[in-house]
């Protein structure tokens, strides 16, 4: 892809490449760290390697978690996801999870957001709901890209999809069925995870995610997730 | 309201005509049908908006009924309320609970409603919570505190007192076999409020108190205090 000078395309390219590289990272290394705080200037200025590093951080202990900025404009995902939804979803819902997990951790050792996930269910509602909500949404924005810039899975990911589902078309059909109305009843997420070297589709209630010990469904490392809480789609799709 | 399926089918067609919505594909003799709203879609404005009422009743409630009918296909006719105690065991809590909960919900609201309860129910509320304002505050806290989808309830216990409880998704207190009978519920699934309130659930909860039909809830109290759940 030829380098783009337009800022919006660069952000979009970063987001797409980040998502594809994320998948590769997981397949290679078996872990993914969640996005740490970074400004868009830092992400853009540091080049691709810097972007991935800044977006996914490391396992270092954190100060209070910050709401990461959206990697693209609020209307960048139109018409699939409407601008108003992106505004409420990021600025209100996601922000509330961040605020609440920080509150729960006030005066305590604050682990990395990734480290928080494993024991989130054991540690109770604040960790599970707000810690999970923060991770899930940090993750969600990064796996999407402005309309038309999503591209295609890397060779490695495409091969894994074919191996686990037969084809991309079959994967899509299974993922759509898993996210259909009532399949995950109530609020929750549907995920594509790496588990024991295979790709598996699973779903979780509320703000749980497959990194959490004791979670419903398949435990594993999520590489793609869709938020099926009604707030994720109700303004446009009802 | 017990009806046999033939009568229910007739009511269903009449209801659809009244509501003016497109007739859904009716399976042979469906067991359950969508009751019409007891008031116009815009009757609860500005507290609950007309668009929400239309989607909520015509689509969400209807979908629970459609799915319940699918689950009950080929099974002997049963009243909706009779399905509640074993709903979780029979995997009917989602569709069956959804149908029951919304039937109760529409009937406990109305235009020119709100205000405060009277009579025995008012006494029981004061006994349990101290005052009506304390009830409002505790009910609001319970409704705001439901994480994800679910309902907050005012229930009548076996000894005739009232208490507040909440359930996830489309479960309801009748499914828990502890004798607690719901007489008022607030739907806090996001579809119940998102078009108008978005993330501001506390505003929706506050607005709800303006549309509660306390006369109806008082009737429900009397029935529940005699040990009988409200029948739908």
Give per-residue pLDDT as tens, A46-100: 333 333 333 444 444 558 999 999 999 999 999 999 999 999 999 999 999 999 9
A59/A39 Cα distance (integer angstroms): 19
Would B40 be classed as within a structural domain?
A: no
User: What's the pLDDT at A208?
Assistant: 98
CB pairs under 8 A between A and B: 53
ipTM of the complex: 0.87
Tens of pLDDT, residue by residue over A188-198, are 999 999 999 99
CATH topology of domain A7-57+83-237: minor pseudopilin epsh fold (3.55.40)
The response to whether B60 counts as a known ligand-binding position is no
pLDDT one-digit tens code per residue, A111-123: 999 999 999 999 9
Given a cut of 80, whether residue A142 has pLDDT beyond it is yes
Which backbone phi and psi does A205 adopt, to 5 degrees?
A: -85, 155
Instruction: Determine which helix (DSSP H) or strand (DSSP E) holds A141, and give its type and residue range.
Output: helix A132-142
The token duo for B157 is 């216990």
In the block, residue with structure tokens 């992400």 = A43
Please state the separation of Cα A137 from the chain's center in Å.
6
> Best mutation site among B198, B202, B203, B204 for testing chain A: the one with the most A CBs within 10 Å?
B198
- Taking residue B127's Cβ as centre, other Cβ atoms within 10 Å add up to 11
Does B38 map to a domain? no
For A89, the closest chain B residue by CA position comes to: B199
Work out the angle between the directed axes of helices B119-129 and B214-225 (0-180°, nearest 10). Answer: 80
φ/ψ of B89, rounded to 5, equals: -60, -40
- CB–CB contact A129 B194 (8 Å): no
Q: How far is A21 from chain B (nearest CA, A)?
A: 32
A237 touches chain B (CB under 8 A): no
Give the residue, A205 or A5, on which the prediction is more confident: A205
How far is it, in rounded angstroms, from Cα A32 to Cα B69?
44
Which of A182, A206, A234 lies nearest to residue B147, judging by beta carbons?
A: A206
Q: Is residue B214 part of a domain?
A: yes
pLDDT at A42 over 80: no
**Which percentage of chain A shows pLDDT scores above 90?**
73
Average confidence (pLDDT) per 10 residues, chain B, 232 residues: 45 46 56 97 98 98 98 96 98 98 98 95 98 98 98 98 98 96 98 98 98 98 98 98
Nearest to A186 among B59, B168, B195 (CB): B168
- Contacts B189 to A, Cβ<8 Å: 186, 230
Q: For residue B228, what is the domain's CATH number?
A: 3.55.40.20
Residue A16 predicted with pLDDT over 50: no
pTM of the model: 0.84
pLDDT at A61: 52
Provide, as residue numbers in chain A, all residues whose Cβ is less than 8 Å from the Cβ of B67. 182
pLDDT of residue A62: 52
Give pLDDT, residue B28: 62
Q: Does residue A233 contact residue A218 with C-beta atoms inside 8 Å?
A: no
pLDDT bin (cut points 50, 70, 90) of residue A21 is very low
Domains contained in chain B, number: 1
B47 is in an annotated binding site: no
- Which residues make Cβ contacts (< 8 Å) with residue B25, sequence separation at least 6? none
Q: Does residue B14 lie in a domain region? A: yes
Look at residue B22 in the predicted model and tell me its pLDDT: 45
What is the span of the domain harbouring residue B147? 1-22+48-232
Quick check: bond before B46 cis, omega within 30?
yes
> Cβ of A63: how many Cβ atoms within 10 Å?
9
Task: Give tens-digit pLDDT for A152-187.
Answer: 999 999 999 999 999 999 999 999 999 999 999 999
Nearest to B190 among A92, A206, A231 (CB): A231
Which chain A residue is nearest to residue B52, measuring alpha carbons?
Answer: A238
What confidence score (pLDDT) does residue B112 get? 86
Determine the average pLDDT of the residues in A23-38. 44
Residue A39 has pLDDT above 50, yes or no: no
Mean pLDDT of all residues in chain A?
82
Q: Count Cβ atoms within 10 A of the Cβ of residue B181 and give its class: 0-12 exposed, 13-18 middle, 19 or more buried.
A: buried
């Amino acid at each position: 892809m030829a380098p783009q000078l337009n800022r919006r395309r660069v952000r979009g390219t970063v987001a797409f490449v980040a998502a594809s590289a994320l998948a590769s990272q997981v397949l290679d290394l078996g872990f993914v760290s969640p996005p740490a705080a970074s400004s868009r200037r830092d992400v853009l200025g540091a080049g691709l390697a810097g972007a991935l590093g800044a977006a996914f951080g490391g396992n270092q202990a954190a100060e209070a978690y910050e709401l990461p900025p959206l990697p693209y404009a609020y209307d960048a995902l139109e018409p699939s996801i409407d601008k108003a939804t992106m505004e409420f979803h990021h600025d209100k819902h996601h922000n509330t999870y961040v605020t609440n997990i920080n509150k729960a951790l006030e005066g305590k050792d604050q682990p990395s957001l990734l480290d928080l996930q494993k024991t989130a269910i054991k540690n109770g509602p604040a960790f599970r709901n707000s810690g999970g909500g923060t991770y899930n949404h940090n993750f969600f924005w990064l796996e999407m890209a402005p309309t038309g810039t999503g591209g295609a899975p890397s060779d490695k990911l495409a091969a894994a999809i074919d191996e686990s589902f037969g084809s991309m078309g079959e994967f899509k059909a299974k993922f759509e069925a898993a996210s259909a109305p009532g399949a995950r009843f109530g609020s929750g997420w549907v995920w594509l995870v790496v588990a024991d070297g295979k790709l598996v589709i699973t779903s979780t209630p509320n703000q749980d995610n497959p990194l959490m010990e004791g979670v419903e469904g398949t435990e594993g490392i999520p590489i793609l997730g869709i938020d099926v809480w009604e707030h994720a789609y109700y303004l446009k799709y009802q | 309201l017990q009806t046999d399926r033939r009568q229910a089918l007739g009511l269903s067609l009449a209801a659809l005509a009244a509501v003016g919505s497109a007739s859904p594909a009716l399976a042979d003799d469906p067991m359950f049908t969508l009751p019409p709203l007891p008031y116009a879609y815009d009757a609860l404005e500005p507290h609950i908006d007309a668009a929400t009422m239309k989607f909520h009743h015509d689509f969400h409630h209807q979908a629970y009924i459609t799915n319940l009918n699918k689950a009950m296909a080929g099974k002997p006719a049963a009243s909706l309320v009779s399905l509640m105690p074993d709903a979780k065991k029979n995997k009917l809590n989602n569709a069956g609970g959804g149908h029951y909960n919304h039937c109760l919900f529409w009937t406990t609201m109305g235009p020119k409603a709100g205000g405060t309860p009277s009579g025995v129910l008012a006494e029981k509320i004061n006994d349990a919570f101290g005052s009506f304002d304390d009830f409002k505050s505790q009910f609001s806290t319970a409704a705001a505190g439901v994480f994800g989808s679910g309902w907050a309830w005012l229930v009548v216990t076996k000894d005739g007192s009232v208490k507040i409880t909440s359930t996830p998704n489309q479960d309801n207190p009748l499914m828990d076999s502890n004798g607690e009978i719901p007489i008022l519920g607030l739907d806090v699934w996001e579809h119940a409020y998102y078009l108008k309130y978005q993330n501001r659930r506390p505003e929706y909860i506050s607005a709800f108190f303006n549309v509660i039909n306390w006369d109806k809830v008082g009737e429900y109290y009397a029935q529940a205090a005699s040990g009988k759940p409200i029948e739908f």
